[in-house]
Amino acid sequence: DIEMQDTNNEDGEDVTMGKAIAPAVTKISKSWTESSAHVPSYSGGKIVMCQGRGTRNLYGNPDNEDHQQTPFLLAPCMGDLTILDAWRGIKARTLRQGVSKLSTSLSTGDNDDWDDEQEDGLDGDAVIAFALSPANDADLVTASRNSILRHYNLSGTPNLSYTGEDGLGAAKVQKILGKSEHKLPVTTMEFHCSGIFFATGSIGDGQVKVWDLRGGYATHSFFPLSGVRQTANRGTVSNLTWCDDISKLWLAIGREDGTVYIHDLRHESSQQQPLAVLNDHVSSVTCISWANPGVWDTFITAGRDAVIQTYQVIEEEDTDANKINRKKKKTKSTGDEANKQTKFVYRRMHTLPIYEQIEGMQLFSTRLLFNNYQQQIGKSDIIMATAGSKGIIRIWKATASEVENEDESSTGKKQQKLLSKFTCISEQNESTAFGEERGGYTSLSLSKNHFGRNQSISTDHHTSAAEQLIVADAEHNISFYDLKPTTSQSGKKKKTSKENQKEVFGLALERTIVGHNDEILDIKVVPNISISTTNSEDDETKKQSIVEDDTMQPKKIAVATNSAQVRIFTLGTFSCSILSGHTKIVLCLDVSPCGRYLCTAGKDKTMRLWDISTGTCIGMAEGHTEAIGATALSRKLGRYDVAGKSAKNGAGAFAVTASKDRTIKRWNLPGASALKKINDEGETALELST
């Protein structure tokens, strides 16, 4: 009913007298609470996976005694450490701020000039290096810009790990170890597998210090030897690696000048002279590893000089030390043979050029791989993965064999292990590879739990593979890759030269976490609609029916983030897939009402049509002379199945683009059947016509 009402505004003025007013409409609440948010969580640097004790109570202390475990990633982000939920792909908390400030600290535009503000203000507490203990995944040591070393406990224990009664505050500092005693900032840190010792390295002078976490003091200090290699960046530490054996205290130091120093902390002369100095690299050494657990007879290094060096570690008599000991004793004793000192010699076996700067190298557990690939992999083989400037993950294999050599120091023969050159047995698919033109990969790690056994993380809360690679790229995306056996059956697609039939296994992209978003220019929700296919009465044609259900909530969103790539986020986990094809920034996008297609347009003057389920570009429209600022897809569901001449004449679905050249163009779509054929058979994207 319509009635006459007298209503005054805030100033007391009559604004409705004598006017007909419709019945009151239910108002939408003005108070909104966010259910989830994706904010910047990674700004570059090393990434560490935590799957041990530190996974408890990530989101605060529970009311009951059931301590929820949530594996997470530690990732640097704008002077802080992000604790990134590895299941949901979102920022759970930060080291310095906790949970409460996630929505306001980095999600607003107040941090656009963060770098300049921090440089002017010199935030002394900004975290620039960190290390997590592999022994318990809980002890964390950080180095700040003011050279202060801090010890945290991320075990999730109430009233111990985090501040606040509910455990939502910042992480508690367990101990301040004091100044790092380095002349310049600490840039590299690494824990020994025992969790007792950790090493710190700095830039410039290249000093490396070893610390005892229990006492909070430095036990050793190492400097580069003078006269070994004189360069402008002599000594700057680029990598610190401990031998993954709790009974050994071997520390390898890689430097920017291409040298590798190997120290044994139990050796009497470790302060003065390293066990070995390797000079085979000519540029920064970024990756170091010992191979063959329990034996450690193989040593591998890689760097930005685009080569992999392989060394054989041989234990032999230290004649110099034994001569000195004999002179000190002056008399021979019956126990001389038993008291002879030995030393480890590193002999270079192979130099493998791979023609890309290596930023990450990981060795797989051969035992786990042998169980799944017994015919292709031997128990003594070495399997490793590399990633670098070309943006492609490669899997390498080296075969070990034993030969008998005469041993002069003993009677009889001695077994000597020889390692073949590494050969590439698998390579990342071009469709999922990040690529060199976008900046390549910046780091590579392997998921492990605190017992040393490799274990993967999956979005549905169960392990999806025996081992899982975690790779970060130049755009701060974090991707998870599973090892999958290659199928012997050939599909419809023709294999390229890179898709070798002899590949033992391939790399399957499990998901991607976007660590940092640029300015968001456009966003669309992808409808979640069920599409069923049925045969017609003559069984010669198929008919698709679209089922709309209000209970089917949207699961994905499409986002344009001021770049040439478009990102498809999965709501809930914020896992992301990236669509690459545009050559310049994408300004606008739209999703079809059936949820199958996405159209994007931008500064490259083209509009592209994508199949959302596969991420394949199935159509492209060219004709504008300036950047395209707006695009849209028609809204009638049934029109997307219209094909043939009807579609060409405009009876089917269509896309519309508006450009800076002051024109609006309509592009007819050929129909779902024709677009599906392009997608299935891998044909070139269809050129759309106006």
Name the residue among 54, 61, 63 with its Cα closest to residue 86.
54
pLDDT of residue 310: 95
Extract the tokens encoding 210. Answer: 């070893």
Taking the domains of the chain in order of start, what are their residue ranges? 35-179, 522-687
- 407 or 362: which carries more pLDDT confidence? 362
Pairing relationship of beta strands 250-255 and 686-687 according to DSSP bridges:
unpaired
How far is the C-alpha of 247 from the C-alpha of 516, rounded, in Å?
40
673 torsion bin: left (phi>0), alpha (psi -120 to 50), beta (else): alpha
Instruction: Collapse the DSSP code of 320 into the 3-class scheme (helix H, G, I; strand E, B; otherwise coil) and give the result.
Output: helix
Please enumerate in sequence order all residues whose Cβ is within 8 A of that of 112, keeping only pairs 6 or more positions apart, or say none: none
Q: How confident is the model at residue 106 (pLDDT cuts 50, 70, 90)?
A: very low
Please enumerate in sequence order all residues whose Cβ is within 8 A of that of 104, keeping only pairs 6 or more positions apart, or say none: none
Note the Cα 620 to chain centre separation in Å.
31
Name the residue among 626, 621, 632 with its Cα closest to residue 656.
632
Question: Does residue 83 carry a pLDDT above 50?
Answer: yes
pLDDT of residue 603: 95
Pairing relationship of beta strands 382-388 and 80-85 according to DSSP bridges:
unpaired
How far is the C-alpha of 147 from the C-alpha of 126, rounded, in Å?
10
Q: In what order do the strands lie in the sheet with 606-611?
A: 586-591, 597-602, 606-611, 616-622, 686-687
What's the burial of 398, exposed, middle or buried (CB within 10 Å: 0-12/13-18/19+)?
Answer: buried
CB 587 within 8 A of CB 574: no
Length of the chain: 690
Extract the tokens encoding 496. Answer: 């390229």
pLDDT of residue 119: 45
Q: How confident is the model at residue 690 (pLDDT cuts 50, 70, 90)?
A: confident
Instruction: Collapse the DSSP code of 343 into the 3-class scheme (helix H, G, I; strand E, B; otherwise coil) and give the result.
Output: strand
pLDDT of residue 28: 75
Q: Tell me the per-residue pLDDT of 498-555, one tens digit each, with 9 for 90 and over.
A: 444 445 678 888 888 888 777 899 999 999 876 655 554 444 444 555 555 555 678 8
- Give CA angle at 212 (208, 218), nearest 5°: 45
DSSP 8-state code for residue 680: H
Question: Does residue 493 carry a pLDDT above 50?
Answer: no
Q: Tell me the per-residue pLDDT of 110-124, one tens digit each, with 9 for 90 and over.
A: 444 444 444 445 677
pLDDT of residue 489: 36
User: Which residues are paired to 56 by β-bridges?
Assistant: 69
Q: Tell me the per-residue pLDDT of 435-489, one tens digit each, with 9 for 90 and over.
A: 898 889 999 998 864 333 344 554 443 344 567 899 999 989 899 988 876 654 3
How far is the C-alpha of 249 from the C-alpha of 241, rounded, in Å?
11
pLDDT of residue 510: 83
Q: Tell me the per-residue pLDDT of 128-143, one tens digit each, with 9 for 90 and over.
A: 999 999 988 899 999 9
Lowest mean pLDDT among 169-173, 251-255, 414-418: 414-418
Question: Does residue 70 carry a pLDDT above 90?
Answer: no
CB 88 within 8 A of CB 58: no
The CATH architecture one would assign to domain 522-687 is: 7 Propeller (2.130)
What's the burial of 241, exposed, middle or buried (CB within 10 Å: 0-12/13-18/19+)?
Answer: buried
Q: In what order do the strands lie in the sheet with 80-85?
A: 48-50, 72-77, 80-85, 91-94
Q: Which residue has the tokens 């982000």?
A: 77
Question: Does residue 238 carry a pLDDT above 90?
Answer: yes
Instruction: Collapse the DSSP code of 111 into the 3-class scheme (helix H, G, I; strand E, B; otherwise coil) and give the result.
Output: helix
Question: Does residue 186 carry a pLDDT above 50?
Answer: yes
Number of Cβ atoms within 10 Å of the Cβ of 582: 23
- Residue 638: which H helix or E strand, with range? none
Q: Tell me the per-residue pLDDT of 655-669, one tens digit each, with 9 for 90 and over.
A: 999 999 999 999 999
Q: How confident is the model at residue 646 (pLDDT cuts 50, 70, 90)?
A: confident
Report which residue type is found at 191: F
Instruction: Collapse the DSSP code of 449 into the 3-class scheme (helix H, G, I; strand E, B; otherwise coil) and give the result.
Output: coil
Name the residue among 481, 487, 450, 443 with its Cα closest to residue 464.
481
How far is the C-alpha of 316 from the C-alpha of 461, rounded, in Å?
49
CB 582 within 8 A of CB 573: no
Integer CA distances (angstroms), 85 to 39, 110, 459, 466, 648, in order: 13, 25, 10, 20, 48
How far is the C-alpha of 366 from the C-alpha of 347, rounded, in Å?
23
Name the residue among 84, 102, 98, 105 with its Cα closest to residue 36.
102
| pTM reported for the whole predicted model | 0.79
pLDDT of residue 486: 63
pLDDT of residue 405: 56
Pairing relationship of beta strands 686-687 and 616-622 according to DSSP bridges:
parallel
Backbone angles phi, psi at 303, to 5 degrees: -165, -165
Q: Tell me the per-residue pLDDT of 305-346, one tens digit each, with 9 for 90 and over.
A: 999 999 999 888 776 666 666 666 554 544 555 567 777 889
Instruction: Collapse the DSSP code of 678 into the 3-class scheme (helix H, G, I; strand E, B; otherwise coil) and give the result.
Output: helix
How far is the C-alpha of 507 from the C-alpha of 522, rounded, in Å?
32
Pairing relationship of beta strands 382-388 and 413-419 according to DSSP bridges:
unpaired
Question: Does residue 34 carry a pLDDT above 50?
Answer: yes
Extract the tokens encoding 360. Answer: 């990450």
Q: Tell me the per-residue pLDDT of 582-598, one tens digit each, with 9 for 90 and over.
A: 989 999 999 999 999 99
Q: What average pLDDT does this structure show over 390-394? A: 94
Q: Which residue has the tokens 């620039």?
A: 128
Question: Does residue 371 carry a pLDDT above 70?
Answer: no
pLDDT of residue 324: 62
Extract the tokens encoding 557. Answer: 């969103």
Integer CA distances (angstroms), 32 to 28, 29, 35, 99, 555, in order: 10, 7, 9, 19, 20
How far is the C-alpha of 285 from the C-alpha of 206, rounded, in Å?
13
Q: What is the mean pLDDT of the chain?
A: 79
Question: Does residue 94 carry a pLDDT above 50?
Answer: yes
Q: Tell me the per-residue pLDDT of 47-68, one tens digit each, with 9 for 90 and over.
A: 998 877 667 788 877 665 555 6
